[in-house]
Structure 1
Amino acid sequence: MTSTDLQRILTHAGKTDDHVIGFRLANGGRVMFTHDRFDMKTNMLDGIGMLYKKLEDSEGQIAHSYTDLGEVIQVILRDDVSQHIFVRDIIE
């Protein structure tokens, strides 16, 4: 999935990248944006074909995740960015 593909989905849904809360991967894994908001310019790295996410553990240690965009098979969008969403309740 490229940023163009994601933009088509967002346009169809009438949403912006703020509404993205996660992606399902072909291997069954997920990349979720629950603490930090998803930003297409920061997180969809078409130039290197990767989905990027900055990670922080409970002690404040930082790590960086790069996932092949070809692995993304599903986008999960929230309906209302002003409301908290319980991600575990809506993930299939």
Structure 2
Amino acid sequence: MEGAHVPLKGWQQAAVALGSALGALMDPRRADLIAALGETTGKPAFQRVLQRMKNSSEGKEVLLERPHVVSAQVSHAWDLPESTFGSAYV
């Protein structure tokens, strides 16, 4: 996935955000549009979360370890009830 990031100018980010928002409103099942909207508008929220992680001992540990979520660790999520986060994740 290295090199997959394409830097955008401010007006390009605004265009992607607006197009994604409109597209997601027309079809909320379009997870790709919702993800694009989050990526283009979520930097302030990401910075706040990152700072909170850096300020907590558990957050610092996660940032240092950089654990990977692998199928074997979350395979039980397939058996969770439909209304749970785990079910939505899988």
Range of TM-score over shorter length: under 0.3
Give the TM-score taking structure 1 as reference length: 0.26
Give the TM-score taking structure 2 as reference length: 0.26
Question: Whose strand proportion is higher, 1 or 2?
Answer: 1
Bigger RCO of structures 1 and 2 (CA < 8 A, at least 6 apart): 1
Name which one, 1 or 2, has greater alpha-carbon Rg: 2
Question: Whose helix proportion is higher, 1 or 2?
Answer: 2
